[in-house]
Amino acid sequence: MNQSPKMNSTVGGRDSRSLLNGLSLDLGAQQLHKAIHEIPIGENDEQLTQIDVNGSAGQDAVMMRLNHPIRIKMEGPLGDYAFAFNQQADIRMTGAVGSGVAEGMISGAVRVRGDAGVGAGAAMTGGTLAIYGNAGNRCGAAMRGGGIFVRGDVGDEAGVGALGGMIVIGGDAGHNLGDAMSNATVFIRGAAASFAAGVTDAPLRKREQLRLGLLLINASIRGDAKEFRRIVPTAMLEAEANERGELNPNWR
């Protein structure tokens, strides 16, 4: 449902009530960014205000650095670095995106109903990135937190340099999946061409089943967590075997 807070001001030179009918990048990227951040948000809103954004197909760096609790719907395809450094916004788009989608995301959600290029979710620290197609190489590289769900396949070096967070792969992965020095958790339903050195398969524990189940829910995905395998550094698996109860976080 589209939420309609009290709108009797002007936003970006327009009657703010008209914004629920859609904004366009014809305003210019800077003016559009300003207009979105000026949309009033009701204090007691149970649902986010929703707007449609038009005219972005084929453009790079679309909606970078948003920091506003709002839901945005838009159509692709988009170029590189779409929605990078997103905060709070819940973005839902249809179409493919280029490289660096949601790079550095801090909070909020980005849902892409299409394929993504290289470095999807790279260096993100929070939030949820859901890709309902395939993703290219280095998905989740250097991520620090948050969750990435890819319904299809991912390319090579998924999770390389990651220090935290969760990556869920519904299909297959390319070469060098994971990173031996990572605290990130990787789940995969399909097969990997190869694991990174020092990385192995591990049993899916009850705790991981719960975490995975929550991410599937946040990504609006129906699936059974038991269908996935856990990919972890060999040193972490050895530490688990020697510990009782919760994993010692100083396994390295």
Q: Residue 218 sits in a domain of what CATH number?
A: 2.160.20.60
In a domain, residue 250? The reply is no
Same domain, 2 and 63: no
Full pLDDT tens readout for the chain, 252 residues: 333 333 333 334 444 434 445 787 666 778 888 888 888 875 555 577 889 988 888 889 999 999 999 999 999 899 999 999 999 999 999 999 999 999 999 999 999 999 999 999 999 999 999 999 999 999 999 999 999 999 999 999 999 999 999 999 999 999 999 998 888 889 999 999 999 999 998 878 888 888 788 877 877 777 788 889 999 889 888 887 887 554 445 545
Same domain, 35 and 65: no
Q: Do 162 and 138 meet the contact criterion of CB atoms below 8 Å apart?
A: no
Q: Which domain holds residue 11?
A: 1-55
Same domain, 160 and 50: no
pLDDT at position 43 is 59
Same domain, 99 and 161: yes
pLDDT at position 8 is 34
pLDDT at position 42 is 59
In a domain, residue 249? The reply is no
Same domain, 103 and 208: yes
Same domain, 213 and 235: yes
Of the three residues 34, 55, 76, the one that is the final residue of a domain is 55
In a domain, residue 248? The reply is no
Residue 185 CA to residue 162 CA, distance in Å, equals: 9
Same domain, 149 and 98: yes
Same domain, 93 and 134: yes
In a domain, residue 128? The reply is yes
Total-model pTM:
0.84
In a domain, residue 251? The reply is no
| Total domains in the fold of the chain | 2
Of the three residues 13, 36, 55, the one that is the final residue of a domain is 55
pLDDT at position 9 is 34
